[in-house]
Each structure stands twice: as structure tokens, then as C-alpha cells.
């Protein structure tokens, strides 16, 4: 189906055994099952239009340092970086290597389509069951690489700045919900008009909290925490996200959606499992927000080259915003 002909939320066709809002089959072509979901919206025409965002020639990296989360949450391992000195090992050359061991969920990341299955059925994007997924080469992050990575127009909704303007006090290490009316109000105040195929980023303040607090506080509220700020999980938000036809969504929060999710409106279920939409978490949006403020515009050209890992489940985004 052409990216110009996607049905609205209310008109999404039913998929047997699945809740309303399932997009399986919409991007299949000539009987071939789709592998990349909403990234199909990043057509050549969409990318060419996005290049109009490059006006100032400045760029901002959106990855956190790879070892920045020293004590990751959810029981994940901490990153390990080892340096090999080949000269010390007897080589005639002056040379170093580095070896990096990470859980791809422990820092800035794209959640890939193999990361999360639908909570009620155990089915991943386009109907692959959890017990069968690893026996296939389906829907891995390598399919994103095969299509040329993730390139398009990025849009930032800066909730941190909005909350400051409106005297909203909140704790990013609580289940503080960024609701649809607030997301729309931010877009209006920033002068943002969305286009099909946009990559939506939401700055929640999670990263800023982490940067400003001690290792002891980080362990207490992140490694041993259980509630975090994020986008509200609700039918209204789900409908708006689909009808906006974003190609991907991301942000600086640890779960993107207000955590923990609450059924039936678990955003991971819809975004990853039912739509096949890349979901970014723990992106460093601090410098990006400052650059948007300087430029007085909150849209930009965005490139992301995820790891070309066969059967990849998640990846550092390796993302850059260009103004």
C-alpha cells in the first residue's frame, strides 16, 4: 500500500484475533511479508522533502556516551570497554583496539521489532510468535540497514521547556504522564506542523535528571526504580500517533511511554508489535533542545544508522540531527 493511502485509526481493517489498530499486512507487497513496518513511510520523496531542513549547516549527535548508564535498570548488564595495546603484546606496530560489550538496551537505543511482542498473544510484528521468532531471520534491525537506515525529518516536542513555561513541577523518576493535549499544545507553541513520515522525538527530562544526580541517587531511582516519566498510554494518544503516520518515535525517557505501561494501552504493544514502528529510548536530547531554541525551530534533518546485526533485536541509534 502506498504511504499516501494509509487508513485512519478508525478505518484500520480488522486482523483476526488481534485488537483494533493492528497494521499487519498494510505494507506487504506482491504477497511478500513486510519486514520494516512504518519505515516504509520514509519514501525517496519524503527524504528529499526532509533535506529542506538543512539550512544552517550545524549538527547534533543524539547518542549518549556508550558507557554513561553505569548501573542500568531492569537487570541489564553494564557496558564494558576494554583496550588492547598491540605494542605491549609484541607487535612491531604502534596500535590499539577496543572491545565493547553492551546490552543494546542499556543506553541510547532503538527498540527493534524483535524486541517486543504483543502482551496478549505473544505475537510480534506481522504475526510471528515469540516461540518461533528466533528460528527465523524475520524483522531484525538488519532489515533497516538493507533499506538504507533511518533518514527523514525529525521533530522535537520539548516537554521540559513547556513545563518550565507553564510552572509544571514533576519528578521524572515517577509515572508522570505527558498527555495528548499537552503534546498538541507543545506543537502549537513551537510552531510545529507534522507531516507524514516524520520521526517524532519527545524530551521528557529523564536524561537531564540523570545528568544532575549522584551515582547513589541514580542507583536508587534507576537501577532499583520502577516508575518513570513518559508519554501517556491511552487510546487518544495511540489514535493520534497512528493518524499522524509517524515513521518512528523516540525520546530521552527510559521507556518512552509512562512506565510501567498499563493494559490495554501499552504503547510498546501498538508501536512495536502491531505497527512495526521503531521506538527510541534514552536518546540524549539536551544539546538538541538547546540548538532548537537557538534556531527557533524544532524540526531538522535526521539520520540514523543502526547496527547491521543479522536478526538484531535493538541497536544504538547512531543518530545525528542536522540543521
Residue 182 pLDDT > 80, yes or no?
Answer: yes
Ramachandran area for residue 311 (φ above 0: left; ψ -120 to 50: alpha; else beta): left
Say what the pLDDT of residue 223 is. Answer: 86
pLDDT tens track for 53-111: 999 999 999 999 988 877 787 888 888 999 999 999 999 999 999 999 999 998 999 99
Strand-pairing partners, residue 96, are 85
pLDDT class of 4 with cuts at 50, 70, 90: low
The answer to whether the CB of 155 falls within 8 A of the CB of 298 is yes
The answer to whether the CB of 243 falls within 8 A of the CB of 198 is no
Domains of the chain, start order:
9-64+108-322 (3.50.30)
Residue 176 pLDDT > 80, yes or no?
Answer: yes
Identify the helix (H) or strand (E) that includes residue 79. Answer: none
Return the C-alpha cell found at 312.
538484531
Say what the pLDDT of residue 68 is. Answer: 82
Rounded-to-integer distance, Cα 179 and Cα 97, Å:
46
Percent of the chain surpassing pLDDT 90? 93
Mean per-residue pLDDT of the chain: 95
Return the C-alpha cell found at 80.
564494558
Residue 3 pLDDT > 60, yes or no?
Answer: no
pLDDT tens track for 49-64: 999 999 999 999 999 9
10 Å Cβ neighbour count for 318?
Answer: 17
pLDDT tens track for 198-222: 999 999 999 999 999 999 999 999 9
pLDDT tens track for 275-320: 999 999 999 999 999 999 999 999 999 999 999 999 999 999 999 9
Residue 26 pLDDT > 50, yes or no?
Answer: yes
The answer to whether the CB of 320 falls within 8 A of the CB of 302 is yes
Nearest by Cα to 151 from 42, 285, 37, 276: 42
Rounded-to-integer distance, Cα 123 and Cα 131, Å:
9
Sheet architecture: strand order including 150-158: 59-61, 319-322, 299-304, 150-158, 199-203, 248-251, 279-281, 109-111, 314-315
Predicted TM-score (pTM) of the model is 0.95
Amino acid at each position: 500500500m502506498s504511504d499516501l493511502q494509509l487508513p485512519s485509526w478508525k478505518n484500520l481493517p480488522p486482523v483476526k484475533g488481534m485488537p483494533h489498530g493492528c497494521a499487519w499486512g498494510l505494507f506487504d507487497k506482491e504477497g511478500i511479508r513486510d519486514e520494516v513496518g512504518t519505515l516504509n513511510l520514509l519514501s525517496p520523496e519524503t527524504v528529499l522533502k526532509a533535506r529542506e531542513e538543512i539550512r544552517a549547516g550545524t549538527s547534533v549527535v543524539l547518542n549518549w556516551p556508550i558507557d554513561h548508564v553505569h548501573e542500568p535498570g531492569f537487570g541489564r548488564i553494564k557496558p564494558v570497554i576494554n583496550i588492547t595495546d598491540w605494542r605491549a603484546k609484541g607487535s612491531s606496530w604502534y596500535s590499539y583496539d577496543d572491545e565493547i560489550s553492551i546490552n543494546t538496551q542499556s543506553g541510547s537505543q532503538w527498540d527493534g521489532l524483535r524486541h517486543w511482542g504483543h502482551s496478549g498473544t505473544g505475537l510480534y510484528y506481522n504475526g510471528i510468535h515469540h516461540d518461533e521468532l528466533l528460528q527465523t531471520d524475520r524483522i531484525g534491525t538488519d532489515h533497516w540497514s538493507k533499506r538504507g537506515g533511518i533518514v527523514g525529518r525529525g521533530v522535537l516536542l520539548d516537554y521540559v521547556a513547556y513545563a518550565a513555561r507553564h510552572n509544571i513541577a514533576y519528578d521524572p523518576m515517577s509515572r508522570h504522564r505527558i498527555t495528548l493535549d499537552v503534546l498538541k499544545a507543545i506543537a502549537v507553541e513551537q510552531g510545529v506542523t507534522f507531516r507524514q513520515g516524520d520521526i517524532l522525538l519527545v524530551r521528557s527530562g529523564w536524561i537531564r535528571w540523570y545528568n544532575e544526580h549522584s551515582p547513589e541517587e541514580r542507583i536508587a531511582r534507576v537501577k532499583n526504580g520502577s516508575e518513570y516519566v513518559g508519554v501517556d498510554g491511552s487510546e487518544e494518544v495511540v489514535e493520534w500517533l497512528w493518524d499522524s503516520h509517524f515513521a518512528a518515535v523516540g525520546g530521552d525517557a527510559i521507556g518512552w511511554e509512562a512506565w510501567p505501561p498499563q493494559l490495554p494501552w501499552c504503547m510498546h504493544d501498538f508501536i512495536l508489535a502491531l505497527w512495526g514502528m521503531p521506538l527510541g529510548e534514552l536518546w540524549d536530547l539536551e544539546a538538541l533542545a538547546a540548538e532548537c531554541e537557538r534556531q527557533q525551530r524544532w524540526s531538522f534533518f535526521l539520520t540514523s544508522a543502526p547496527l547491521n546485526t543479522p536478526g538484531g533485536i535493538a541497536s544504538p541509534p547512531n543518530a545525528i540531527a542536522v540543521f
